[in-house]
Amino acid sequence: MKLRAWMLLRHIGQLRDFNADPDSPLYGKADLQKITLVGHSRGGQAVAMAADREQWFADDASLPRASDYRIVSVAAIAPTDTVVDGKQARLRDVSYLTLQGASDADINDFFGDRQYMRATFATDGAGQAGSAFKASLYIEGANHGQFNESWGRRDSSLPAGLFLRKPALPGEEQRRIAKVYLTAFLEATLLQDDAYKPLFEDYRSASAYLPATRYVSRYESGDFRAWVRFDDEDADFAMPGAGIAGIASAGVTAEVAEALDRQRRGKGTHGLSLQWTNGGEYTMTWEKALPTGASDAGNALLSFSMADLSRDLQVQGGPGVSGFAHSHRPHGRERRLFGAAAGGFRVAAAAFSRFNHPVGHA
């Protein structure tokens, strides 16, 4: 993995030399201040590592100087996310896009989602952070290999590949999704064309160009300001963040918990987990009217998000019978919610959706 990232940086150095050489056909044709790195699978992790070069290559004189170029954006298709030399890439003020197929039998967890959480932006919105953003797309029926034309429908070599279910999406349609998103990403980040950003905010804005399947998308712009993420080392339900207090009513169990992937492994980010049986309340209060760097001017919105984890609660159905609660309605069962971000207005818990609310309104 480290070698892949190193080779990417060496290629940037070679392009720099070609760009400065009057005898090169590439002379004067490259803008090295506008670079996007794109990678698939292990390459998807390598491009993020190259964009965070100081962690691994700070003293490598064979690489181009960081001042010679600027990586504006990084796109990762079904990336890995392994620890290299005890470290993982952290992107700062660099736009990030990741795509993942739900039928991926090689990278069968959404590891790009972890890198998404490790992409951050300056709170003052200065420089590139003001226009940067991060986005992810999870695609039903897409596998690992069909994002390119070479790897095919089987995500495992023979004979194991014979026993894998074929992906529901044809290869042409899976690559069309990648083409639409990558093209829009380059237009938005390299050419600063904001007309493409609605695609990342809501995939339905480009439904005419996308195959008919189910998608789950996430988006966060560089000017987003979090009130609380629950990721502070000493965060708990009573004090989830600086200047923020939380109170759980009787009958409600509240705790800050790490988000888990489908293998029940920690994802490195946290949220507030709430459990109850017969109803209750959890109230958060803030010392400040707005988080640091935020403004209530213009079209500012307060976003509150939560998810239903009831399906993760094992229930007993009688002697020798057990299962999982899948219902979105309590029906007397224990209800559990997980909030990755929270706002300061009341929302019906049964909605389980994303809410946008004008700042300053009840």
- Asked whether residue 235 is domain-assigned, the answer is no
pLDDT score recorded for residue 16: 97
Whether residue 275 sits in one domain with residue 199: no
234 domain-assigned:
no
Sign (positive/negative) of CA torsion 34, 294, 259, 330?
negative
Res. 245: pLDDT tops 80: yes
In terms of domains, do 85 and 192 share one? Answer: yes
CATH number at residue 14: 3.40.50
Mean pLDDT for the stretch of residues 314-323: 36
Checking if the pLDDT of 73 tops 70, the result is: yes
Confidence of residue 168 (pLDDT cuts 50, 70, 90): confident
Structural domains of the chain, count = 2
d(C-alpha 362, C-alpha 358), whole Å: 9
User: Phi then psi for 335, rounded to 5 degrees?
Assistant: -110, 140
Residue 9: which domain range?
A: 2-221
Query: Are 315 and 282 within one domain?
Result: yes
Q: Does 121 lie in the same domain as 45? A: yes
In this predicted structure, the answer to whether residue 329 has a pLDDT above a threshold of 80 is no
Within 13 Å and on the Cβ side, how many CA atoms surround 153? 13
3-state secondary structure the chain: CHHHHHHHHHHHHHHHHHHHCCCCCCCCCCCCCCEEEEEECHHHHHHHHHHCCHHHHCCCCCCCCHHHCCEEEEEEECCCCCCECCECCCEECCEEEEEEECCCCCCCCCCHHHHHHCEECCCCCCHHHHCCEEEEEEECCCCCHHHCCCCCCCCCCCCHHHHCCCCCCCHHHHHHHHHHHHHHHHHHHHCCCHHHHHHHHCHHHHCCCCCCCCEEEEEEECCCCCCCCCCCCCCECCECECCEEEEECCCCEEEEEEEECCCCCEEEEEEEEEEECCCCCEEEEECCCCCCCCCCCCCCEEEEEEEECHHHCEEEEECCEEEECCCCCCCCCCEEEEEEECCCCCCCHHHCCCEEEECCCC
* Residue 236 domain-assigned (yes or no): no
What is the per-residue pLDDT for 322? 29
238 lies in a domain?
A: no
Q: Are residues 253 and 346 in the same domain?
A: yes
In a domain, 153, yes or no: yes
Single-letter code of the amino acid located at 3: L
Last residue of a domain, which of 157, 189, 221? Answer: 221
Tell me: do 116 and 182 sit in the same domain.
yes
Instruction: Evaluate whether residue 188 is within a structural domain.
Output: yes
Separation of alpha carbons 44 and 110, rounded Å: 12
- Is residue 182 domain-shared with residue 274, that is, in the same domain? no
Using a cut of 0.85, tell me whether the model's pTM lies above it. no
pLDDT on residue 264: 81
138 and 48 housed in the same domain: yes
Query: Are 91 and 117 within 8 A, CB to CB?
Result: no
In-domain check, residue 228: no
Tens digit of each residue's pLDDT (9 = 90 or more) over 261-285: 877 888 888 888 888 888 788 888 8
Q: Answer whether residue 108 is part of any domain.
A: yes
pLDDT, one tens digit per residue, over 204-243 is 999 999 999 999 999 999 888 777 788 877 788 888 777 7
50 and 172 in a single domain? The answer is: yes
Tell me, what's the pLDDT at 251? 87
Does 161 lie in the same domain as 109? yes
Asked whether residue 277 falls in the same domain as residue 351, the answer is yes
Domain boundary among 188, 221, 254: 221
Together in a domain, 324 and 279: yes
pLDDT at 320 over 50: no
